[in-house]
Amino acid sequence: MAWVPLRSRATGALCAGTVAAYAAMYVTQPLLPLLSAEFRLAPATAGLSVSAVVLAIAAGSFVAGPLSDAVGRKKVMVGALLLLLLPTLGCAAARSFPELVAMRAVQGLLIPGVTAVAVAWAGDHYAPGQLRTSVGAVIAASVAGGLLGRVASGFAAERGGWRTAFLVSAVITGVGAAGMWRELPRSSPARSPWRGALSGMLGHLGDRRLLGGFGLAFCLFFGFIAIFTYLPFRLAAAPFRLSTQAISSAYLVYLAGIFVSPMAGRLASRVAPERVMLAGLAISSAGVAVTLASSLPVVVAGLLVLVVGMFTAQAIGPSFVNEAATRAKGGANALYLAFYYLGGTLGSWLPGLAWERWGWPGVAASSGAAIGAAALAVWTLCRPVLPRAQRG
């Protein structure tokens, strides 16, 4: 198999498809106050428009990864994006909040066709020495997609209502699907029957280092999404009282992740990946603490620090899992994403209860506890397996 150059149209298409998938995921996050007001919902209930898609992504990841091992990565990614157009348009046409949540769940089932497969595709098509750098590029694309979904939806909703945000998302999805279909090399023939691919994925649950990676994924995203899901409620309330467009602009701190992710990938080629992940978690916890300030510029600075730390750790997590897995790599990446979004499901709901009772300090405490648990998982489980002769 010929290796794909890092700077190529195929790499651009892989990143474009990743941007489209992540943009669809986060459309409603800056719109929660609007949805809460229109449908007369409590903040935690409005957060279900995020939780539903995140939980469905976790479930869909269990299928997408093994399916890509069985039938090929490109077929799964392009097909998932094309099908994603339907529930995205369905969200725009939703007549009630339960209907919107149902369409968001269908979106979530399809999104892993890209998010759970892109890193495995990179592992198949980039030279071994380029893997961490290429995965860093994919993670940077996921950051760009999350930023685009949040900011574009806020600007669209400010001008045409929240339904317009989903129409914009559908256009982005269509562009991503077209780019992947046209530019990605054809998938290699199926290498593993479905049943074998599924059993290979489940076998990863017995690997200590992979369990550490999965624990990192769960706790990291719990802590991160807790802050950014309930941030709009804080910024819309006193003393800030920002508009929906201004709240969306706060997500521009995500730009830092686009630059940090590739840098972290390159750093991990010289420093042990566990150390890079722990450093990212330490930076994240500092950022969460800073958001407790009552000054808007200081809060934004804390968000920026949180993004830098989170994407330092997240840029390494998927490649760590891909390298630690000796077989069924699509299944390993799928499990990473499943745990990641299971954490996100709880992180977009439970801190809402903390917000309703304790306000922003409750959300920050929830986030900080999750980040601490992520550090414990990396410290205790992700260390290298020593040769038998070196064991005490």
**Res. 298: pLDDT tops 90:** yes
> Which residue, 344, 104, 356, is CA-closest to 228?
344
Residue 314, classified by CB atoms within 10 Å of its CB into exposed (0-12), middle (13-18) or buried (19+), is buried
Poorest-pLDDT segment among 4-13, 248-257, 270-279: 4-13
- Scanning the structure block, which residue is given the tokens 């209502």? 161
More confident residue, 203 or 160: 160
Mean pLDDT of 291-308: 96
- 9-382: CATH class: mainly alpha
- Say what the pLDDT of residue 392 is: 46
Token pair listed for 66: 């093994």
Which of the listed ranges 80-89, 197-206, 339-348, 349-358 does the model predict with the highest average pLDDT?
Answer: 80-89
At 64, the pLDDT band (50, 70, 90 cuts) reads confident
Mean pLDDT of 143-151: 86
Poorest-pLDDT segment among 117-121, 159-163, 238-242: 117-121
Token pair listed for 381: 């489980």
At 32, the pLDDT band (50, 70, 90 cuts) reads confident
**Res. 71: pLDDT tops 90:** no
- Say what the pLDDT of residue 139 is: 83
**Res. 334: pLDDT tops 60:** yes
- Say what the pLDDT of residue 193 is: 61
Residues contacting residue 82 through CB under 8 Å, at least 6 positions apart: 177
> Which residue, 139, 147, 120, is CA-closest to 30?
147
**Res. 195: pLDDT tops 70:** no
Cβ(287)–Cβ(302) under 8 Å? yes
- Scanning the structure block, which residue is given the tokens 């686009």? 258
- Say what the pLDDT of residue 13 is: 92
**Res. 326: pLDDT tops 90:** no
Query: Torsions phi, psi of 131, nearest 5?
Result: -60, -50
